[in-house]
Amino acid sequence: MKVYLVGAGPGDPGLITVKGLECIKKADVIIYDYLVSEDLLKEARPEAEIIYVGKQGSRHTLEQEEINQLLVEKAKEGKVVARLKGGDPYVFGRGGEEALYLVEKGIPFEEVPGITAAIAAPAYAGIPVTHRTYTSTLGMITGHEDPTKGGSALPWDKLATAVGTLIVYMGVKNLPYLVGELIKNGRPKDTPVAVIRWGTTIGQETVVGTLEDIVEKAKGLEPPAITVVGEVVRLRDKLNWFENRPLFGRTIVVTRARDQASDFARELEELGARVIEFPTIQIIDPEDFGPMDRAIKELDTFHWLVFTSVNGVESFFKRLFHLGGDARWLRGVKVCAIGPATAREVRRYSIKVDCQPSKYVAEEVLEELKRQEPAGLKGNRILMPRADIARSFLPEELQKLGAEVVELVAYRTVLAEAFSQKIPGSRKETLLEKLKKGEVDVVTFTSSSTVRNFVELVGKENLATLDGKVCFASIGPITTRTAQGLGLKITIEAKEYTIPGLVKAVKEGLGVRSSGV
Ligand code: SAH
C-alpha cells in the first residue's frame, strides 16, 4: 500500500511527468480533482477504481477532511492509490495537507511533482516567466482572498514592487481588487498583464492589457485562469506559438470509423484543432467467410493480390492467420496497394508492395497494373479483398482486359451508432445543435460511406439549415461526387487523396476563409 501524490500538469495531458504516468498505470485507485485532464484517466488499468473528488470554485464534491480520510481508507485496504492533482500538488493544491495527514496516519507516500499552471499557461501563451532583459525575479501568489473581510493576508505594500514577474493563481474573480492593490502600492499603471484561461488546453484563451485596462478587457472571463503581471508579457507578441498554430480555435468533425479516427484526429490536434469524433461507420466481419477462406487456401493460384483499403489488408491477414497461415502463403503472389496508408499496412505484415499508383484512385490502379504487366493482363488471376460496398469499376475493367478477378467481401461497413463515450459532445443531437449554431468549422469525409451515413445520422431534412454555417471537406473526387449527389456542398477537397492530403487541404481551406478572401 502506498499513496502517490501526483501532479497531473496544467491541462495538456502530454504535460504529465513520466513518473506520474507510471503511477496512474499501476494504481488500484485513482482519486482526482477538477483540473485534472480526464484524458489521463484512459491510462488507468481497466479494473482501477476511479473516484472524482473535484472542487470547482466553492462547490465541493467532498470536503478536504473527507478526501484525506478516503486516501487513508483506500491505502489501508492494501491498495496503490494515485492521488491526482492539477499542476503541482504542493503549489496551492493542498498537497502538503494531504501528505501531513498520511504521515500522521502512518501511510507511506511519495510526491511526484507536476508542471504548475503559473509556468505552463504563460509558456503556452507565449510568455517566458523570466527573461534576462526583463526580469530575474518571479513571485507566485494566490488571489483567492475575500476582499470584503477587510485586512488582507497578503503584504501588498511589499509584493507590488518586490518582483519583476508576479503570477496570481485563483485571481480572476478578484481581479479589480488585485489590480487596485498593485497600483495603490506603487506598480506602474502601464505594466503589462495577461490573463490566461484554461492554459495549455485547446480551449486556451488569453487576454492582454495593462494594470489600467485589464479589468475591462478581461470582463466575463471565468476561472480557471492565471494572471501574469510584468514586462515579460511583452514577449507574447513574438513567442505566441500555441495560439498561432494554423487550426487553433477551430472545431473539426471526424466521421471515420472509431478505430481509424485516431491518426487523423492527432494530426488535426497537432495543428491546434479541437476534434469531435463522430464515427459514422463501423467496420464489421463479412456475413460469410466461405469465399475468403477458399481464396486464401488457393492463394498460390493468383498472380495479383490487390488491396484498396487499410481495412481490406487488416481483414485479409486476420483471416489468413486465423486459418493457420503466415506471410509464406503469399509466395509468388504480387501485391498492389492503392495508396501509402494501405501500403504501410501491407508492410506491417512483412510483405513487400510490388505496385502502388501515384494517384490513389481505382482508375490509376488499373493503369499501374497494365504497366506492370506489359504482356497484358489476360489470364492473370487477381484477388481483391474489399468492402461489401466497394466500387465495381476496377474489377469490371480488369475483366474487360481478360483477367480473372475474384472479388471478396473482406469486411462490411455499416451505419455506426454515432455515439462516442469519449466526448459527450459527439452525440448525434448535440452535434446537430453545434452544427446549427455554427460551432463547427469543418466536417471531414474520408469515403463515400462516411458521407452517406453522416447524412443519414444527421437527417437529410436538417441539411438545408446548415447552409453557410459549416464547411464540408472531402478526401477526393469520388467522395465529393457522393456528397454532391446528396446535396452537400464540398468546399474543400484534398489534392492528394490521403489523410495527410486532407489535413493539408483543410488547413489551406480554412486559412483562405479566415483571411476573408
Ligand atoms: N496545483 C495547481 C494550482 C491549483 S489552484 C497548479 O500547480 O497549477 C487552482 C488555480 O490554478 C486556478 O484557479 C487557476 O488560477 C490556476 N490554474 C490551474 N490550471 C490552470 C490552467 N490550465 N490555466 C490557467 N490557470 C490554471
- With a cut of 90, say whether residue 57 has pLDDT above it: no
pLDDT of residue 457: 86
Rounded to an integer, the average pLDDT of 344-364 is 91
pLDDT band at 43 (very low <50, low <70, confident <90, very high): very high
Is CATH 3.40.50.880 the classification given to domain 119-239? Answer: no
Most confident of 129-143, 270-284, 377-391: 129-143
Burial class (CB in 10 A: 0-12, 13-18, 19+), 168: buried
Q: What's the CATH fold of domain 2-114?
A: Cobalt-precorrin-4 Transmethylase; domain 1 (3.40.1010)
- Which of the two residues, 427 and 511, has the higher pLDDT score? 511
Atom 20 of ligand 1, nearest CA residue? 117
Dump pLDDT digits (tens) for 173-193: 999 999 999 999 999 999 999
Cα dihedral angle (153, 157, 158, 159), rounded to 10 degrees? 70
Residue of 92, 94, 140, 227 to mutate, ligand 1, most atoms within 8 A of C-beta: 92
Q: Render 447-507 in DSSP notation, one character per residue.
A: SHHHHHHHHHHH-GGGGGGGTTTSEEEESSHHHHHHHHHTTPPEEEE-SSSSHHHHHHHHH
Give the three-state DSSP class for 49: strand
pLDDT of residue 58: 62
- Which residues are paired to 208 by β-bridges? 194
DSSP-derived letter for residue 9 is B
254 ligand 1 Cβ < 6 A: no
- With a cut of 90, say whether residue 230 has pLDDT above it: yes
145: cell is 482572498
Report the C-alpha gap between 128 and 165 in whole angstroms: 10
pLDDT band at 515 (very low <50, low <70, confident <90, very high): very low
Report the C-alpha gap between 415 and 281 in whole angstroms: 5
- Planar angle of CA 299, 300, 302, nearest 5 degrees: 75
Note the CATH number of domain 251-280+416-509.
Answer: 3.40.50.10090
Report the C-alpha gap between 435 and 258 in whole angstroms: 20
Percent of the chain with pLDDT over 90: 75
Residue with cell 498561432: 244
Report the C-alpha gap between 336 and 365 in whole angstroms: 8
pLDDT band at 199 (very low <50, low <70, confident <90, very high): very high
Give the three-state DSSP class for 344: helix
pLDDT of residue 145: 72
Q: Which residues contact 487 (CB under 8 A, 6 or more apart)?
A: 455, 460, 463
pLDDT of residue 213: 98
pLDDT band at 517 (very low <50, low <70, confident <90, very high): very low
Atom 11 of ligand 1, nearest CA residue? 169
Atom 24 of ligand 1, nearest CA residue? 225
226 ligand 1 Cβ < 6 A: yes
Dump pLDDT digits (tens) for 268-295: 999 999 999 888 888 899 999 999 999 9
Report the C-alpha gap between 167 and 147 in whole angstroms: 18
Give the three-state DSSP class for 320: helix
pLDDT of residue 144: 82
Residue of 226, 228, 243 to mutate, ligand 1, most atoms within 8 A of C-beta: 226
pLDDT band at 26 (very low <50, low <70, confident <90, very high): very high
- Which residues are paired to 490 by β-bridges? 472
Please, are residues 357 and 365 in contact by the beta-carbon 8 Å criterion?
Answer: yes
Report the C-alpha gap between 70 and 80 in whole angstroms: 13
pLDDT band at 513 (very low <50, low <70, confident <90, very high): very low
Indicate if 33 belongs to the active site.
Answer: yes
CA distances from 183 to 187, 192, 211 (A): 5, 12, 7
Percent of the chain with pLDDT over 70: 94
- Which of the two residues, 245 and 257, has the higher pLDDT score? 245
pLDDT of residue 360: 80
Q: Which residues contact 211 (CB under 8 A, 6 or more apart)?
A: 179, 182, 183, 187, 188, 189, 190, 191, 193, 229
Least confident window among 56-70, 414-428, 477-491: 414-428
pLDDT of residue 421: 40
- With a cut of 70, say whether residue 56 has pLDDT above it: no
Q: What average pLDDT does the chain have?
A: 91
DSSP-derived letter for residue 136 is S
Q: What's the CATH fold of domain 292-413?
A: Rossmann fold (3.40.50)
Report the C-alpha gap between 304 and 401 in whole angstroms: 14
- Which residues are paired to 444 by β-bridges? 254, 473
Dump pLDDT digits (tens) for 287-334: 999 999 999 999 999 999 999 999 999 999 999 999 999 999 999 999
- Whole-number Å distance, alpha carbon 86 to ligand 1 midpoint, is 7
Give the atom of ligand 1 at the shortest distance from the alpha carbon of 115. 7
pLDDT of residue 423: 42
- Whole-number Å distance, alpha carbon 52 to ligand 1 midpoint, is 17
Q: CATH 3.40.1010.10 spans which residues of the chain? A: 2-114
pLDDT of residue 471: 95
Cis peptide leading into 155, omega within 30 of 0? no
Indicate if 237 belongs to the active site.
Answer: no
126 ligand 1 Cβ < 6 A: no
Q: One of 2, 26, 55, 217 is an active-site residue; which one?
A: 55
Report the C-alpha gap between 514 and 512 in whole angstroms: 6
- Which of the two residues, 450 and 390, has the higher pLDDT score? 450
86 ligand 1 Cβ < 6 A: yes
Q: Render 64-119 in DSSP notation, one character per residue.
A: HHHHHHHHHHHHHTT-EEEEEESB-TTSSSSHHHHHHHHHHTT--EEEE----HHH
Q: How far separated are the first and last CA of the chain, in Å rounded?
A: 62
DSSP-derived letter for residue 237 is H
485 alpha-carbon distance from chain centroid: 31
Q: Render 141-188 in DSSP notation, one character per residue.
A: EE----GGGSS-SS-HHHHHHH-SEEEEET-STTHHHHHHHHHHTT--
93 ligand 1 Cβ < 6 A: yes
Q: CATH 3.40.50.10090 spans which residues of the chain? A: 251-280+416-509, 292-413
194 ligand 1 Cβ < 6 A: no
236: cell is 507574447
pLDDT band at 390 (very low <50, low <70, confident <90, very high): confident
Dump pLDDT digits (tens) for 392-421: 888 999 999 999 999 999 999 888 864 444
Q: One of 33, 140, 292, 507 is an active-site residue; which one?
A: 33
